[in-house]
Amino acid sequence: MPNYMYVSLQDDDKILVFAMDSATGKLTPQSELSVAGGPSASTVGPDRTTFYVGLRNSQELCSYRINPDTGGLTQTSKVSVEASPTFLSTDRSGRFLLSAYYQGAHVAVHQIGDDGTVSGNPIVWLETAPAAHAIQTDRSNRFAFVPHIARLNDSVMQPPGDKLGPNAIFQFRFDEKSGNLTPNSPLKVDQQGFLGPRHFCFHPTLDVVYFSDEQGGSVTAYRLDSFAGTLAAFQTITTLPDGFSGRNTCSQIQITPTGRFLYVPNRGHNSIAGFSVDAASGQLTGIGQVPTESVPSAFSLDPEGNFLFAAGSESDHLASYQINPDTGALTPLEIYAAGKRPMGVLITNPGG
């Protein structure tokens, strides 16, 4: 079975479906789906049978059943929410859909039915702070984290009356039976400097969590206390080359399934920064930057960690790279036309 890629085109109101050759990384267009409302962030459940996407403009969450033979999507539910969804994930059991709301200053939890559909009313609609940018549960499924960058807009200067984000990571306990979130103690991990934590990923075997720092142009690594569910920073490392002085913000972050390599796109420098990961400590070492499409707001690794695909939200193209299994270095492959403002890239194997 091939892998399938889903590209959310926020300004075209479409989701593109590609088949991905797992040996070569080559993409073949399969279909496109009209999705009114500005499709953006997306996720799949642990069983990889259902695709979830947030609609930024219409303030809705949608679920789609994935055809394992074609990658095609069939809508199974659509629910309204009270703000524009910025980030989606499922908990580790696949029973709950978690979402973060950047302008809305909230996070939410919706129940997922046995058929993958999303419940109409959230179990949790919890106010955190402006600029809530992501939410995920840890490997134990007992804790959840919500990073907040330091401002609501992407300009350096704050317009009059705009609200600042808290530049902090909020920590919660998660009840995997009820889906409820309760504040952990302490609630916030304040940042040492103007970092602006945006997205994060968990090391596959170590109790380490990595956050992309939007304003800091860096990655910060945290030790996760697996008993208390709290974070403690132990390393911050730049995503930029020496001597770069232009404006830059980091976007997403992903680690390979083996835990050997980690990648973060730079928006401004327009590159993908790569890092090797120490197998014992989780410490990061930079392995350089590779040029990519203009303003890479979304990217994805394939499920095996052999290829990387980065979407340029200003270039409307998708760049593909092969990952060297020994060094983590990226070799450019092909560039594909996508569409207007690709803001979500997700690769899964529904038959695997």
- Here the tokens at position 10 are 């926020």
Exposed e or buried b per residue across 300-321, where buried means at least 16 C-beta atoms within 10 angstroms of its C-beta: bbbbbbbbbbbbbbebbbbbbb
Which residues in the chain land under pLDDT 50?
152-162
CA proximity to 114, closest of 78, 76, 61, 79: 76
CA distances from 17 to 4, 20, 28, 29, 45 (A): 7, 10, 9, 6, 18
pLDDT of residue 151: 67
> Which CATH number describes the domain made up of 35-190?
2.130.10.10
pLDDT of residue 158: 42
Amino acid letter, 51: F
The helix or strand, by DSSP H or E, that contains position 233, with its residue range, turns out to be: strand 230-238
Q: What is the DSSP code (8-state) at residue 193?
A: S
pLDDT of residue 160: 40
Q: Domain segments of the chain: what residues? A: 35-190
pLDDT of residue 155: 41
Q: Rounded to whole angstroms, how far apart are CA atoms 245 and 293?
A: 19
Are the CB atoms for 32 and 50 separated by under 8 Å? no
Phi, psi of 211 (to 5 degrees): -115, 135
CA proximity to 111, closest of 129, 101, 125, 132: 125
